[in-house]
Structure 1
Amino acid sequence: MNDVPILRNWHDDADIRRDLRSWQEEGAAVREVRLPDGPRVWLVTGYEESRQAFVDPAIVKDYRKAPNPQGFGRFLHRDESWAGPNSVITTDGSHHTRLRNTLRPFLNRRALDTLRPVVRTICDETLDALAEPLDPDLMRDFARVVTARVVNHILGIDPRHLDTVISTSTDYGAGEGSHRANAAIARLSAIIGETVTARKRTPDQGIISALVADPTLTARDVLGIASTVIIGGTLTTSTLLGWGIAYATTLDDRHAVMSDPRRREGYIEEMLRRYSPTRISTWRFAAEPTVIGTTPIPAGAVVCIAPAAANRDPRQYPDPDLFDPGRPNAANHLAFGHGAHLCIGAPLARLEAATAYSSTFTRYPNLRLALDLEHIPWASAVVEMHPRTLPIDRNSLFM
């Protein structure tokens, strides 16, 4: 057991590059590691191996189907709303399809066409307020606000809960231990519970009203689905917005890129590939023995797929550390997963990014940060990583 290496936290891009170089030199696309907080997992870092693992029927999301996941019991029950057995991200087969289908009417193409002007208004209003603080910050004052307001809108959560939704997702992804994450989940559950009660009395057009009206869903189903939308719709999407805008401030042709829909789309896909907000996907479990690539995986093993690594596999992406918005196969990235659990909110995240990018540089054409990108501090949890702060040079907002 002592020869199983510990997976070090990835606190920034240099950490990812360091480990990837080491693994690539060893030719290890699947390896057993120990997470910093104890459990042993099989980490999948190769691109093709990750695609295979995402769709392998022997690898499941519902831990109850796996024979005694190795050393993982105490981690599986600490946040029942977000990752318990009634969540979209922890179910399989017909149960997963049933829960997932409750969200489709709110995230299909017609729904997104209706949401487009809403997202534009939210971005514009948030940008108008960006110059008000003396220390404006792209993450705190823009990216987190936009994503939380969009989530509140589609769920039907009272706007007065905006600050709590923002702090909840921020605390959940802070990477500072389970106590802070559990406290965040408790606040989240309280907001959802209050909204459920309100929507039973006064239904609206939001997701929670639809969930409450569905007689096939239990109270835990509703809690699990709504929690997934909040955490999934704010944490990683705010990184896509904030870091995407921050990186664009370093480009000489940023206005040409952001004003051209085709070039902007390429930029978004390459941002998702090169700077995937999802460090490691949520847990999977081997319900029976299987093989990923050429590596045997025993029954009961915990399997973690690492999109941040797979998206830089040189076998799939030549010169993978190069950020190239014109990369022809960038959109084949695994930032949103693959297969049955492909992120159902991916089209909304892309819409938010496209709107935020174009609106920001239209409103503030000379925007720049107060720090160089290499000095930006990052927070890293097991699943995702994000900039803690993206301080803006306030003078650039008035140029």
Structure 2
Amino acid sequence: MSGHQTEESTTRGPQPSGAERAPRPQSLPVERPGPVDLPEEFRRLRTELPVAPLAFPDGPPGWLVTRYDDVRAALADPRLSSRRPHLNSHVRASLITPDEMATLRPSDLLTSDPPEHTRLRRLVSGQFTARRINQLAPRIQDIVDRHLDVLAVGPRPADLMTAVSLPVPSLVISELLGVPFTDRDRYQRLTAELLSLDRTRDQLLASKAEMKAYLLHLIHAKRAEPADDLLSGLLQAQATGTAPTDDEIAALAQLILIAGHETTANVIGLATLLLLRPPRLWDTVRRRPELVDGVIEETLRYATVLQFGLLRVAREPLTLAGQPIAAGERVVLHLPSANRDPVRFTDPDHFAPQRPDAAKHLSFGHGPHHCIGDQLARIELHTLLTTMLHRFPDLKLATDPDRVPTHTHRVIHGPARLPVDFTP
């Protein structure tokens, strides 16, 4: 789909005009009725105001895009830039100046446009190869088995997030990237701090500075003693004249480290919650393991972990679904709402592991910024869910499924804790 097809290809039904098109900007809806439910307001917005005026915590208002076709087209539209002063400015006032951001973390795959984005993505994709990921498959199985062994003999009820969901992808991404797993407490703490929306300016600056210093130390160590890992590969590219700076490598490593374990960990927790809550689909999928891949795609669609959407800035004037967008205005592409659009997905508020088109979700993005680690995530999720279903046939929730605590003040949605029980 061309990035310049947004108006013609995404408009459906009569569009509001005049005063009806410009109601007062409202803040982003964030209050969830339940752990895996979206704020009810998105149903109305998709129908009545698919490109809605959005109040930002700082600066002038922008726009909120909620329908699947509009979001998908906008993700591929080069007129919408990924460059912005702060990743989370539509849900939190910017605490850090653009100059401070540039010093602490230069552009990465999330916050750059071509040709810079093309150069950086080529550097990472050259290391994030199918060969390297396939080589990890037996190791992923071993990591899963060892953590489930500990779960099986540990105290019950157990917190699945602490025991399995977080450490498994953390160890996998550590090995791929070349980060010592013995440092997991430090980088998991830093990840939680960087994704949190309730940090003070001083706290956020300190976390960013500590993460950068930690990664630069690793880069220097890898330069002295390279290995068969992604960090060493990026340094080798630097030595051959591709010229990623140490700061750029640190920024790429931070993105991969955070995205590579935090998102997968929460998808694991959400998938388990969805299978164990009534009507207990866990038993159905255990009897039919061929449904596991469907469970993964449907979880990614139904319970999208990037809960506040993606922020873009208009490089030039454009029209999106009949709504004029001025150059410089901010646009939020709400992936969770798009993935619940009834025009694209039949009965979208129903979790259906056998949904034939679940993989059309936008949780990994679309266009130039499509997630480069999607296949690694799928391998991890398939291995862990398949093994858990086999080893823990009577796994059950040890809490009310409607009261599972979730990350309400973090960029990534998922269970904060997931108590489970089973027969040893």
| TM-score, structure 2 as length reference | 0.84
Q: What is residue 44 of structure 2 aligned with on the other side? A: 22
Residue 384 of structure 1 deviates from its aligned partner by 2.7
Residue 182 of structure 1 deviates from its aligned partner by 4.2
Matches within 5 A, 1:236-251: 236-250=263-277
Looking at structure 2, the residues matched to 375 and 345 of structure 1 have their Cα atoms a distance apart, in angstroms, of 31
Which deviations, in whole Å up to 9, do the C-alpha atoms of 1:57-90 show, x marking residues without a partner?
11011238xxxx9x98755649848994421111
Q: Answer yes or no: is the 8 Å Cα contact 2:177–2:231 preserved in 1.
A: yes
- Residue among 95, 101, 114 paired with 1:93: 114
Matches within 5 A, 1:86-125: 86-125=107-146
Looking at structure 1, the residues matched to 220 and 204 of structure 2 have their Cα atoms a distance apart, in angstroms, of 25
- Residue among 276, 292, 299 paired with 2:320: 292
Q: What is residue 187 of structure 2 aligned with on the other side? A: 165
Looking at structure 1, the residues matched to 133 and 166 of structure 2 have their Cα atoms a distance apart, in angstroms, of 20
Change (3 A) 1:375 1:73: closer
The total of aligned residue pairs comes to: 390
Where is the helix percentage greater, Structure 1 or Structure 2? 1
Q: Answer yes or no: is the 8 Å Cα contact 1:82–1:228 preserved in 2.
A: no
Q: Answer yes or no: is the 8 Å Cα contact 1:307–1:334 preserved in 2.
A: yes
Residue 16 of structure 1 deviates from its aligned partner by 1.8
| Secondary structure in structure 2 of the residue aligned to 1:88 | coil
Q: Which moved more, 1:240-249 or 1:257-266?
A: 257-266
Looking at structure 2, the residues matched to 133 and 72 of structure 1 have their Cα atoms a distance apart, in angstroms, of 42
- Residue among 212, 216, 222 paired with 2:235: 212
Q: What is residue 279 of structure 1 aligned with on the other side? A: 307
Change (3 A) 1:151 1:124: same
- Residue among 370, 380, 386 paired with 2:398: 370
Q: What is residue 388 of structure 1 aligned with on the other side? A: 416
| Secondary structure in structure 2 of the residue aligned to 1:214 | helix
Q: What is residue 50 of structure 1 aligned with on the other side? A: 71
Looking at structure 2, the residues matched to 20 and 36 of structure 1 have their Cα atoms a distance apart, in angstroms, of 19
Q: What is residue 340 of structure 2 aligned with on the other side? A: 312
- Residue among 152, 168, 174 paired with 1:152: 174
- Residue among 355, 366, 369 paired with 1:338: 366
Matches within 5 A, 1:192-203: 192-203=215-226
Which deviations, in whole Å up to 9, do the C-alpha atoms of 1:18-45 show, x marking residues without a partner?
12233245x2111121245666331111
Is 1:190 matched up with 2:217?
no
Which deviations, in whole Å up to 9, do the C-alpha atoms of 1:234-282 show, x marking residues without a partner?
2211111111122222354525525755411111111110001112334
Looking at structure 1, the residues matched to 264 and 232 of structure 2 have their Cα atoms a distance apart, in angstroms, of 24
Q: Answer yes or no: is the 8 Å Cα contact 1:8–1:36 preserved in 2.
A: no
Which deviations, in whole Å up to 9, do the C-alpha atoms of 1:297-344 show, x marking residues without a partner?
111011111110000011111211001111111110001110000111
Q: What is residue 377 of structure 2 aligned with on the other side? A: 349
Is 1:176 matched up with 2:198?
yes
Which residue type is aligned with residue 145 of structure 1?
Answer: P
Q: Which moved more, 1:283-292 or 1:375-384?
A: 375-384
Change (3 A) 1:127 1:263: same
- Let me know the Cα RMSD of the aligned residues: 2.7
Is 1:59 matched up with 2:69?
no
Which residue type is aligned with residue 210 of structure 2?
Answer: R
Looking at structure 2, the residues matched to 258 and 364 of structure 1 have their Cα atoms a distance apart, in angstroms, of 10
Residue 190 of structure 1 deviates from its aligned partner by 2.9
**Percent identical across equivalent pairs?**
29
Looking at structure 2, the residues matched to 350 and 90 of structure 1 have their Cα atoms a distance apart, in angstroms, of 24
| Secondary structure in structure 1 of the residue aligned to 2:340 | coil
Which deviations, in whole Å up to 9, do the C-alpha atoms of 1:94-120 show, x marking residues without a partner?
211221122224433322211111111
Q: What is residue 224 of structure 1 aligned with on the other side? A: 251
Looking at structure 1, the residues matched to 103 and 370 of structure 2 have their Cα atoms a distance apart, in angstroms, of 17
| TM-score, structure 1 as length reference | 0.89
Looking at structure 2, the residues matched to 291 and 373 of structure 1 have their Cα atoms a distance apart, in angstroms, of 42
Which residue type is aligned with residue 373 of structure 1?
Answer: P
Residue 284 of structure 1 deviates from its aligned partner by 1.2
Looking at structure 1, the residues matched to 213 and 142 of structure 2 have their Cα atoms a distance apart, in angstroms, of 28
Structure 1 moving runs of 4+ over 6 Å = none
| Secondary structure in structure 1 of the residue aligned to 2:192 | helix
Q: Answer yes or no: is the 8 Å Cα contact 1:58–1:290 preserved in 2.
A: yes
Looking at structure 2, the residues matched to 286 and 178 of structure 1 have their Cα atoms a distance apart, in angstroms, of 29
| Secondary structure in structure 2 of the residue aligned to 1:303 | strand
Q: Which moved more, 1:77-86 or 1:2-11?
A: 77-86
